[in-house]
Amino acid sequence: MAEEEERLTIRELLRRGGYLIKVPRPRPEPEVGEVEVEVLRPVPEPVRGEELISAEEDEELKKKLDALVMKMVKALREEHGDVMLLGDFVANVIDRFEEEHGSLVSVDDVLISITDLARKGLIAGVLTLDSGDRIIRLSPEEFGVDELRVLHMVSKREPPELTLEELVNETGWPTARAKAALRALERARVARRIPGSFTGGQDKWYFPGLEKKV
């Protein structure tokens, strides 16, 4: 009896660690100290007591998720501009989906939805910057080469902002070219210009979508 209770304890501990195991029955003459455990498959730990549903296995759920991602793109674009850190966007979608539908979706399901919508041309998709940050473009348009260069630069700064002079010095661009890139990002609502009259210095361009949450 004590031996059976010990097996249940091992099974429970491994299940809590994310795996469902099968402990074979003892051999007729087991070797001393030998333990045989067969790992069958991972078992995701439930979140907040809810059962995780795979959108890949439920067509209706996939449609709801795609619709919600598009709705969130529009809503979050008003707050963050045309770019947003991918992790923040995914977290917002998962929370909102649970609020509206009473069930959970996985990070992978949200990423698949983003990829599908980008393939259809509804959003531009995901981009990895030189800093390692992954961002989502909340519009169908792609960035130009100069705009991408600016984003790569700003993603390494904290806070994510720079002046025209800093951009010129780092890239070696003529002032007109640097200003055109910043204005293009400003028109796309990726950057917000902060007049020097507010700061007592030069004009700055701030990128709210690249601000890292503490």
Residue 59 and residue 124 in one domain: yes
Residue 167 and residue 111 in one domain: no
Torsion over CA: 43, 47, 49, 50 (sign): negative
What pTM did the predictor assign? Answer: 0.62
- Domain of 197, CATH number, reads 1.10.10.10
pLDDT in tens, 3-27: 444 444 444 444 444 434 444 444 4
Total count of domains within the chain = 3
pLDDT in tens, 49-59: 445 556 556 78
Check if the beta carbon of residue 168 is closer than 8 Å to that of residue 162.
no
Domain that holds residue 23: 2-42
Residue 207 and residue 147 in one domain: yes
